[in-house]
Amino acid sequence: MVSQTAAPPAPVDTASPDLLPVYAPGELAALAARHGLTVSGARPTLGAYIRQLWGRRHFITAFATAKLTAQYSQAKLGQIWQIMTPLLNATVYYFIFGVLMNTKHGVPDYVPFLVTGVFIWTFTASSITAGTRAISGNTGLVRALHFPRASLPIALAIQQLQQLLFSLGALFLILLVFGQYPRPSWLLAIPALTLQALFNTGISMVMARLAAKTPDIAQLTPFILRTWMYASGVMWSLDTLLTADRVPRLVLLALECNPAAVYIDLMRYALIDSFTGAQLPPHVWAIATAWALVCGIGGFVYFWKAEERYGRG
């Protein structure tokens, strides 16, 4: 009789989907919590997010400085273009609006008036334009590394502030040439620029989130900014319109509360002798502070709420 040895049992394929245990959604969440697992790329709490940003403050400032240095690295004049660009814009606006359209009529110290408006407006416009590219223009960085995404629009806003501070030397020189000498009111430029920087950063973060989802916004932004510039009294005095009886009251109120015009007027009041407090809207500092806080804090929270979606899709 031939003895037969029983064959060993075949190995069980534990990787087969049919043999894996089936969990209900609630059971899976409990299992993940029991083993300390979290959702990959989940949005942190607002407090934790702020702490992460503070921990990367050196990266943010270094990124801003590097972007500023590289901005005109291919041009022969290099960083001189940081000053030349707003000056050339001011020159063009002077001949078109000041001379051809005669908007300088009735505006004392028109050149300091115009140059100050152009420099301060450029700060806001450049911050918003940079914000539209903060996420969409750094997709590779966003997908490759884990860091709070707000670092990018904040860094780009700091870059524009650095560029403005670099250009203020030219602005002060022009003021001196046209008889505007340093006086105590020049110190008011510090809180005015601080509030404007906070406002610009908040709007930059709003635009960063919108453009990350809808890239076409970057193509629409220049037209919006151009319209906003004309309504902000960069090249002409809003007083001529605010005193006109034919303009509806709601339009006058919108012009008075226009944040770009408010920050421009505060800088003109600080730097130009002939621009007096009578030309400022009522409660101008309260308006400037409100815009800075609402847009700065609101823009930050709005950007944070989409933190886990940046770089995906």
Domain residue spans of the chain: 45-309
Q: How confident is the model at residue 195 (pLDDT cuts 50, 70, 90)?
A: very high
What is residue 251's predicted lDDT score, i.e. its pLDDT? 80
Kindly state the average pLDDT of the residues 8-13: 51
Report the predicted TM-score, pTM, of the whole model to 2 decimal places.
0.82
Q: How confident is the model at residue 8 (pLDDT cuts 50, 70, 90)?
A: low
> What's the whole-number average pLDDT of the chain?
84
> What percentage of the chain carries pLDDT values higher than 90?
44
What is residue 12's predicted lDDT score, i.e. its pLDDT? 47
Q: Does residue 215 surpass a pLDDT of 60?
A: yes
Q: Does residue 206 surpass a pLDDT of 90?
A: yes
Kindly state the average pLDDT of the residues 52-57: 94
pLDDT tens per residue across span 257-294: 999 999 999 999 999 998 988 888 889 999 999 999 99
pLDDT tens per residue across span 122-163: 999 999 999 999 998 888 888 888 889 999 999 999 999 998
Q: Does residue 19 surpass a pLDDT of 80?
A: no
Q: What is the 3-state secondary structure (H, E, C) of the chain?
A: CCCCCCCCCCCCCCCCHHHCCCCCHHHHHHHHHHCCCCCCCCCCCHHHHHHHHHHCHHHHHHHHHHHHHHHCCCCCCHHHHHHHHHHHHHHHHHHHHHHHCCCCCCCCCHHHHHHHHHHHHHHHHHHHHHHHCCCHHHHHHHHHCCCCCCHHHHHHHHHHHHHHHHHHHHHHHHHHHCCCCCCHHHHHHHHHHHHHHHHHHHHHHHHHHHHHHCCCHHHHHHHHHHHHHHCCCCCCCCHHHHCCCCCCHHHHHHHHHCHHHHHHHHHHHHHCCCCCHHHCCCCHHHHHHHHHHHHHHHHHHHHHCCHHHCCCC
